[in-house]
Structure 1
Amino acid sequence: MESLFTIDGLISLLSLTLMEIVLGIDNIIFISILCNRLPIVQQDKARNLGLVLALFMRIGLLFAISWLVGLKTPLFELFNYEFTGRALILISGGIFLIYKSTTEIHQKLEGPEADEVDKKKRTITFQSVILQIVLLDIVFSFDSILTAVGLVQNIWIMVTAVVISLGIMLLAAKTISNFINEHPTVKMLALSFLLMIGMLLFVEGFGVHVPKGYVYFAIFFSLLVEVLNLRMKKASKEQSSVQLKSKYKEGETESED
C-alpha cells in the first residue's frame, strides 16, 4: 500500500486510471442504450446499478488474478486452434455485443413507428436490462483487468485506479446518456462503435490481436467530427433565426412607412 504514495506509484495510478476511463466509455454507451428502453423513472437507477456492479466485478477479478491467468490454459482444440477460457469469454461477449448493436441499429433504421411497435411487442423489464448489463460487464471487466495486470503489478494501485475511474464514469454517465439520446446521429455512431468493439472482441478470441489504440483513436476522431457537425448545425440554425427576425422587422418597418 505504501508504494501507492511514491512518484512511480502515482504515475502508474494516473496512467492506469486514464486507461480505465477510456476502456470504460464503451461500457457507459452500452448501459445508456439499454437503460433508454426502460421507463424514465427507472433509467437512472438501472444505469447507476450497472456501473456499481461493474465496479464490484472488476475488484473481484483483481483479487482473482491467479484464476484469470488460468483462463489462458487451453481447454480443447478445434480446427488446429486451441480454445482457452479467455477466448471463449471474448468470443461469446463479442457475439452478444454484435447481436445487440445490430438489432438496435435495425430498429433505428426502421423508423420511430417500428421502434414503438417493437417496444410494445417486447416487454423490457428492469431485471432483464440488469442481466444484460451484468453479462457485458463480465466481458468488459475481463478485458480491462487483463490490460491493467499487464501494465501494473501492484494490486492496490489497480484497485484504486478502478474505483476512481468508475467513480468518474458514475458522475458522467447521465450526461453522456442524455447527450447520446438527444442526438440520433450520435446514437447511431455509438451503436457503430459497439458493433466494431464486438467484432474486435470476437477476432481477439481467435488469437487475432488488433491494437486498441488504433480502434479508440478512430472512435474519438469520429466523435470529434460528429460534435463539430452538431455545432455547425446549431450555428446554422441560429443564423437562420437571426435572418428571419431581421426580415420580419424590415417588413414591419416597410408597412409602417
Structure 2
Amino acid sequence: MKAPVIEIFSSFQGEGLLIGERQIFVRFAGCNLNCKYCDTEDSKSEKSGKLMTVDEVCREINKILTPDCNTISFTGGEPSLYPEFISEVSKNFNLNIMLETNGTLPDNINKIEQLDVVSLDIKLPEHFNGNFNEDILLNEIKSVNLLREKSISVYCKVVILPSTKIESFKEVIEKLSKNISNKSNLKIIIQPSSPLKDWKDINFRLFEYSEVVGQYFDVSTIPQIHKILDIE
C-alpha cells in the first residue's frame, strides 16, 4: 500500500483548538477541491507527492518523534482520500490521531479506524472561483454528524477572507445550525486568512462574524499562529 506524501515534519499546531501543541504532521498530496485561499498549493496534485509505503512513513515519524509530541496530524491536500493508509500508519503508534480535513468525503472519513480529534473546514462560496456546489456543505454536515455519533472530538473551522460577505457567511452558519443533529459543545473556529495585514482597517468586522456564530454555537476567533511565529 502506498500514498503520495509531500512531507513529514514536526512543529507546533498553528490552527484551531490544539494550537501550540507539538505534533508530527504527515502532509498528503492530492485534493478533491480547489480553494482559492489554499496556502499549500503544492499539495493539490497527487503528482507532487512522493509515493511512500506505510513502513516508510512510520520510519520517518519515528525519526522525528520527541517527548513533547503526543499527536500525529494527517493533513494535506485532503488526507481523507487515503483512509486505509491512515488507518495502517496509526496502528503503529500509541499516539493521538488528528485529521485535518475539508469534510467533503464522509464515507472515506468513516473508514478511518482510529481518530481522536478532527479539525473540519467549513467552506464558503467565496472560497471558490465560480459556482459554489451545495453538495460541499451537505457532505461537511454529514461528516460532522457521523463523527459526533461516534463520539469523536470534532470542531469546525471557517476561514474568512477580507472579501467574505457577512450575508453569505450567515447563510452557511444557519444551515449548519439547522442540520447538525447535536450542537451542544460543538466549537466553531473563525480563522482570518493570512497575512493578517490584509485585515488592517477592517478588523472590526471580525466581531460581526463572531456575533453571527455566537447565536448558534460556541465560537472563537483564532488566526494562523504558525504564520505569526514564522514556522512551518
TM-score normalised by structure 2 residue count: 0.21
Larger Rg: 1
TM-score normalised by structure 1 residue count: 0.19
Q: Which structure ranks higher in relative contact order (CA pairs < 8 Å, sequence separation ≥ 6)?
A: 1
**Relative to total residues, which structure has the larger helix share, 1 or 2?**
1
